Amino acid sequence: MKIMIMFDPGKVGEAITSNVILEKKVPFNILTAKIDKKGGEMLIEAPDDKAFELIEAFKEKGVRVETRKFVEILPHKCINCGQCFSICPVDAIKYDEDYSITLKQEDCIGCLQCVDSCPLEAIVKAS
């Protein structure tokens, strides 16, 4: 599961991430991180069966946590042209057996390249 951890300015100096790893002994991947003294965000990928435990641990340390859906396909607009399929860096967009485009949310890292690539605005940033 992809989880976004959001750090307020007052939290960036604390060793929150390393303490969560040490306490919970759950390894996770850090997919993206953009943090400076004004605060920031870190996207992690956690094992599904440990995600709730990690979310609670981060929340207890005073940071905001969200599970994320980054983009969605609008089926009524999509013509299955494959432009987004070609550009996705992590193969989160697939062709089904019937040649319709589908999105594997669990693989998406939120780069939004597919949104920019679509000629019909049929794949959009999730609200």
CB 1 within 8 A of CB 51: yes
- Quickly count helices (H) and strands (E) in the chain: 4, 8
Q: Which of 15, 30, 33, 79 binds ligand SF4 (CB under 6 A)?
A: 79
Q: By rule CB under 6 A, what count of residues binds ligand SF4?
A: 29
- Point out which residues pair with 5 in neighbouring strands: 42, 65
Task: Say which DSSP state 90 is in.
Answer: T
Q: Which of 105, 14, 114 is nearest to 5 (CA)?
A: 14
Out of 56, 90, 94, 126, the residue judged to bind ligand SF4 by CB under 6 A: 90
Residue 71 interacts with ligand SF4 (CB under 6 A): yes or no:
yes
Q: Which is nearer to ligand SF4, 6 or 87 (CB)?
A: 87
Q: How far is the CB of 94 from ligand SF4 (least distance, A)?
A: 10
1 in contact with ligand SF4 (CB under 6 A): no
User: Which residue type, as a one-letter code, is found at position 14?
Assistant: E
Return the residue of 47, 62, 82, 95 that touches ligand SF4, per CB under 6 A: 82
Chain centre to alpha carbon of residue 65: 12
- From 31, 35, 65, 111, residue interacting with ligand SF4 (rule: CB under 6 A): 111
Q: How far apart are CA 31 and CA 97, in angstroms?
A: 30
Which residues would be at the binding site for ligand SF4 (CB under 6 A)?
Answer: 70-71, 73, 78-84, 87-88, 90, 92-93, 101, 103, 108-114, 117-118, 120, 122-123
